[in-house]
Chains A and B, each alone.
Chain A
């Protein structure tokens, strides 16, 4: 699984950080998403999928098979 984030779409909601804190963080100043782990390990996949689904700005994209 490969994760990409679109900083321009991100609204700083931080839902992704609540769900997958090992993969996502937020910038201190404007809250925009920081991708900590572009190719997260297997154990993170379920959380990352949920974060991508719940992100209110559709700013998280997942590619690759599993």
Chain B
């Protein structure tokens, strides 16, 4: 049975923490829905909202200037009639009072607070004391890495996930020597399974990336404050003029300690993306109950941030919408464009349903226990989207009284 419709009372003002894809999207969605109340957007970085996917691709390669990643023009932002408080990270939240404190000492209070502070990249011990060791999460990170790539002959990328793989591909495109080291046995194997992981591994090897898979990075080595290489658990030492640590990220919830919210793997929300009365979370930071899957989920991808923002905006304005997306992300490496819909786990049976791996163009269907859970396109974006329909069953809530 549908829960009773709550009384519709629009918040008088909304405070959004995190001024990136998700934070901007919720502000825009509120305005598009006719919301006229006060909007404030607090962001840690000095930049206006910009897009992250190009950072490891067009920005790192130099094809785009940093400004090209800005998601909206200054005029568009003005028209939004939101107050942007940038370069001033939030340092604390009192969820019950819906009060946010910032590093500069601001105290901001609103009827509703939306949390969209994304992720913090993991680092290796000792990394902060060595020049030439990078993470890639922000525009400034990308520009710093790019500067180092123009001088370093040898780059070591630690982490064989999507970020490490994209950085390796982009750096090879610049002519830099690249070693990719990671715990998994195949490039993106944990995310895309054995067949595609194997193909990506061969793709990188074919482009001259030296692969050190199935082995942990033990430590960084340095001289005079600058990195000289990476020591692996196998004892092998990989010399490097620059190192990127792409071993994963954690939800940026440090500032929410003591807020009264439940923090697990991210900010824990209900099926409506609500973390507490008048407090919502979205994007990379939000762990919510996916009613179609019947379990908690947290996604780290670009479409999730904006789609979840649409649902949060609706719920802020009194609708009662569960968030039940089919996960989706894409990645570009060399001349390969991968589109991934749903879950593409290692335990799935993988069948090629269109095209062929030998032709460098195919769609693969992932099945677990007789149910289609994922669809992957390898240089076949449109066909993959058409196959996405077969995922509906796995992600749609069952009829009531399940």
Residues on A with beta carbons closer than 8 Å to the beta carbon of B71: 58
Contact A13 B328 (CB under 8 A): yes
Chain A residues proximal to chain B, CB less than 8 Å:
11-15, 17-18, 26-28, 30-31, 49-50, 53-58
Residues on A with beta carbons closer than 8 Å to the beta carbon of B328: 13, 15
Which of B129-137, B168-176, B229-237, B300-308 contacts its partner?
B300-308
In the complex, 18 of the A-B residue pairs with CB atoms within 8 angstroms, ordered by the A residue number, are A11-B53, A12-B330, A12-B337, A13-B330, A14-B382, A14-B385, A15-B328, A26-B382, A31-B337, A31-B377, A31-B385, A50-B310, A55-B306, A56-B53, A56-B306, A56-B330, A57-B53, A58-B51
In the assembled complex, the Cα of A55 lies from the Cα of B306 at a distance in Å of 8
Task: Return the chain A residue nearest B68 by Cβ.
Answer: A9
Contact partner of B332 (CB less than 8 A), chosen from A11, A26, A55, is A11
- A31-B337, A53-B28 in contact; A14/B381 too (CB < 8 A)? yes
In the assembled complex, the Cα of A31 lies from the Cα of B306 at a distance in Å of 20
Contact partner of A11 (CB less than 8 A), chosen from B29, B330, B385, is B330
Chain B residues proximal to chain A, CB less than 8 Å:
21, 25, 28-29, 32, 51, 53, 71-72, 302-303, 306-307, 310, 328, 330, 332, 337, 339, 377, 379-385
- The prevalent SS among residues of B at the interface is helix
Residues on B with beta carbons closer than 8 Å to the beta carbon of A18: 385
- The prevalent SS among residues of A at the interface is loop
B183 → chain A closest CB, angstroms: 28
Task: Return the chain B residue nearest A34 by Cβ.
Answer: B382
Residues on B with beta carbons closer than 8 Å to the beta carbon of A30: 337, 379, 381
In the assembled complex, the Cα of A58 lies from the Cα of B227 at a distance in Å of 37
In the assembled complex, the Cα of A50 lies from the Cα of B303 at a distance in Å of 13
Contact A13 B306 (CB under 8 A): no
- A13-B328, A53-B28 in contact; A26/B385 too (CB < 8 A)? yes
Residues on B with beta carbons closer than 8 Å to the beta carbon of A55: 306
In the assembled complex, the Cα of A19 lies from the Cα of B249 at a distance in Å of 31
Contact B302 A56 (CB under 8 A): yes
In the assembled complex, the Cα of A13 lies from the Cα of B32 at a distance in Å of 23
In the assembled complex, the Cα of A11 lies from the Cα of B339 at a distance in Å of 9
Residues on B with beta carbons closer than 8 Å to the beta carbon of A13: 303, 328, 330, 339, 381
Residues on B with beta carbons closer than 8 Å to the beta carbon of A11: 53, 330, 332, 337
Contact B339 A15 (CB under 8 A): no
Contact B382 A28 (CB under 8 A): yes
B107 → chain A closest CB, angstroms: 31
